[in-house]
Chain A
Amino acid sequence: MSNLEKIGPASYLVPKERGMHVPGLLIATEALIREMEIERPLEQVRNVAHLQGILGYSVAMPDIHWGYGFPIGGVAAMDAKEGVISPGGVGYDINCGVRLAIIPISMRDMTDKMKRDLLKRIYEIVPSGVGRGQRGKKPLSQKDYQVLVKQGARWSVEQGYGFAQDLEHIESHGCIKGADLAAVSEHARDRGKDQLGTIGSGNHFVEVGEIQKIFLGDTASAWGVEEGLIYAMIHSGSRGFGHQVCQDTLTTFVNKGFHEGLPDRQLVAAPIQSSDGKKYFAGMAAAANFAFNNRQQILHEVRQAFHDVCSIKMEEVRLLYDVCHNIAKFETHKIDGNQKEVCVHRKGATRAYGPGAEELMPLFKQTGQPVLVPGDMGRASYLLVGLGNPLTFCSSCHGAGRARSRVQSLKSWKGIDLIDHMETKGVLVMATSNRTIAEEMPDAYKDVDNVVEAVEEAKLASRVARLRPHLVLKG
């Protein structure tokens, strides 16, 4: 198995080779490794280990697949003083992430008509798909931008999108410190000006389903998660605003030759403490805060849909948590017995703090933080609780990971009415593009059950609940 050495449950060492500062660590079961295309992503795990200042391991999650420079499902912690920061370690969709809200009614109480009406209403008020911005809303002004990149999700709450208590239920309280609008180009601001509250295209979605099975009763109960209740899950990021911040930085870094000496141009990176490194972090943080606002406003729209169709008060749609899975953050971790400040790059990986972590609000400090793992639109998603495993810098997986290329999916579902097909499986789907549905069919993804099994075996996070989708809005 590609020179992998088993060092623990669902944990494999990728031995250090020439040029690597640290070894790699792959979290996966033997069965998952057998079924995945592993060579190219593993090469990326090794490449990441060449970056200046990397500490511990170049980590790969069980949903790993080939990405841009870093593998998707990759984690790397860089020494905050001596290390580098790499846009490829964050990705184009800065602070792409997931949020989960719990609705205090049972799926059993929803008639078929209500389900259809609810999905239709969500489709009407949550703009989705290529090029869909907000219509009828005032575009963001420079003044709006100035405040929202500094305040994060609080800005949307102050504009009437949500409630103050939402903020405690968002990673980093919905605000990455250090954002500076001056580090963001006019192009980026222009692209993002009407995109708050929109999901975009690709694998982004709004999903409504039922909490199907509880694994950890105490934790679920503490979080107000009960079998049979309805949930709403939102997956989106920083839209054109974040893409542009990433692109502008990559162009600058490549033009300055920062990729020279690296095994892959896409790993291009700048020292964290250099002016270029600091500028990227300030722009990235601005984009991350844009993304928190985006998900905050999408949740507001979903709350509105529940209110309109199910007569549920908006504040009763309770945000459980919001996680980032494309981000670089300054955190303190114990490395070789010493507490060290590091810049953790999570690219397709989720923070999974265990009990006691400083940043968490009291409830989650007691239980560990919620970790959200969307699977696919047919089978399941998962709600986990973080265990704060130091080997992965308190990180876990971010999804099921693709098993099939988009081209394969399109070919295999050609000529089939996908909406009808999904309905026979008990899932109502709406999307602006049939192509997106074909690319996102359940068999395009690994079985999320197997992925979370690996995460649990490796003691990164534990299962709290299995979630089953009923209604899906795709981009």
Chain B
Amino acid sequence: MINDSCEKRLFFGFQVEAPWPEDFPSARLLDPSHRHLTVAFLGKTSYQKVQDFLERMPKPSFLLGQVGVFDSCLFLPPKTPRVVAYHMKALGYQNLLLNYQKELSHFLEEEGYHMDKRDFLPHVTLGRSPFFHEKWEEYFFPLPMYYSSLHLYESLGNSHYQSLWNFPLQPPFIEIEHEADIAFHIYGETPEDIHLHAQMALSFECPALLKYLDSQKLKTSIEEIVIQLNEMVIEADREEGTPFKAVSFHGDICKKQERFYEWEMIVDV
């Protein structure tokens, strides 16, 4: 039962999905379900006050969870690191997260909160000290990720968090049932998104594919998209192997609910 009257340590953050490895180097690791991308930290504050502005606070302008890549390992704060984190580089629409973070921070300042003035560093905390820098740096390899629903989180201590409210976003892809192969529903606000998100779905299954991901020359026809996806699979298969035979020419891009484009992608394995 949530007590509305008391003060809580609160912050806004996005839920993060990634194909997390099971064997990170040692640290006091956060449970994968608690890994998040913080956008605004409120500190200890009245939960009632926050509830009062939730409805009118700015919401993300985007309907879909955004995709990115964890491209480096961070130790924060830099001088006396207490946490190890992965840095997130956005793919696709580069400024969406930054713009939203600015907009939300501005709103919260007007509500009387003190916001951190340092440049926003999008990252996901994975563990707390003690940890060995070298082991984490040596272990690091790029991972695909996407962030989905925006949450108001309460920090419960010991790296445990509780979601008190959320604003859902459509995930960029969902794995669906397929008897013999693997299959996904891919979503996008544009056909180009479908192409990018299909590449991300494959990279979630096989992170080695990230090296061959092309977020610039995005195609719009299903034939072109499938051909590029297969080029990506072939390159990765030649260099390091993939669990995929090929992406099939199945289905078409269609518009669902007048909001998203959707494609059912089937991958022969």
Contact = CB atoms under 8 A, between A and B. Distances in A.
B234 A93 contact: no
A371 B267 CA distance: 29
A187 B236 CA distance: 12
B234 A131 contact: no
Nearest to A64: B179
B242 interface: yes
Contacts of A93: 245
Contact of B249 (A240, A243, A268): A268
* Chain B interface main SS type: loop
23 contacts: A68-B181, A72-B180, A92-B245, A92-B268, A129-B241, A130-B242, A131-B237, A131-B240, A132-B241, A191-B234, A201-B243, A201-B269, A244-B234, A254-B227, A254-B249, A264-B250, A265-B250, A266-B248, A402-B180, A404-B179, A406-B182, A407-B177, A407-B182
Contacts of A254: 223, 227, 249
Interface string A223-244: 0000000000000000010011
A68 B238 contact: no
A37 interface: yes
A141 interface: no
Interface stretch (A77-85, A245-253, A297-305, A358-366): A245-253
A67 interface: yes
Nearest to B240: A131
Given A130-B243, A131-B242, A191-B234, A251 B250 contact: no
B246 interface: yes
Most buried by A among B175, B177, B179, B227: B179
B266 interface: yes
Contacts of B241: 129-132
B230 interface: yes
Contacts of B182: 406-407
A259 B176 CA distance: 26
Interface in A94-142: 129-132
B249 A247 contact: no
- Nearest 6 Cβ contacts at the A-B interface: A131-B241, A92-B245, A405-B177, A130-B241, A402-B179, A65-B179
A129 B179 CA distance: 21
A290 interface: no
Most buried by A among B182, B243, B246, B250: B243
Contacts of B256: none
A103 to B, nearest CB: 31
A275 to B, nearest CB: 21
A187 B234 contact: yes
B16 to A, nearest CB: 21
Nearest to B266: A68
Interface bracket on A? 35 or more
A202 interface: yes
B203 to A, nearest CB: 15
Contact of A247 (B178, B246, B269): B246
A247 B249 CA distance: 10
Interface string B132-162: 0000000000000000000000000000000
Given A130-B243, A406-B182, A407-B182, A191 B238 contact: yes
Contacts of B250: 68, 264-266
A66 B178 contact: yes
A147 to B, nearest CB: 23
Contacts of B237: 131, 191, 240, 243
A68 B246 CA distance: 11
A221 interface: no
Contact of B179 (A37, A191, A259): A37
Contact of A66 (B179, B227, B234, B245): B179
B243 to A, nearest CB: 5
A35 B234 CA distance: 37
A345 B204 CA distance: 34
Nearest to B251: A265
B246 A92 contact: yes
A2 interface: no
Interface string A263-277: 011101000000000
A290 B246 CA distance: 19
A247 B179 contact: no
Nearest to B205: A435
B231 to A, nearest CB: 9
A259 to B, nearest CB: 8
Contacts of A68: 181, 248, 250, 266, 268
A397 to B, nearest CB: 14
Interface in A23-38: 37
A242 to B, nearest CB: 9
Nearest to A71: B180
B229 to A, nearest CB: 11
A251 B227 contact: yes
Interface in A388-409: 402-408
B109 to A, nearest CB: 45
A255 interface: yes
Nearest to A264: B250
A190 B177 contact: no
Contacts of A130: 206, 241-243
A202 B246 contact: no
Contacts of A131: 237, 240-242
A266 B252 CA distance: 12
A243 B179 contact: no
Given A131-B241, A251-B230, A243 B177 contact: no
Given A191-B238, A240-B237, A254-B223, A265 B180 contact: no
A407 B267 CA distance: 13
Nearest to B236: A131
Contacts of A255: 223
Contacts of B178: 66, 405-407
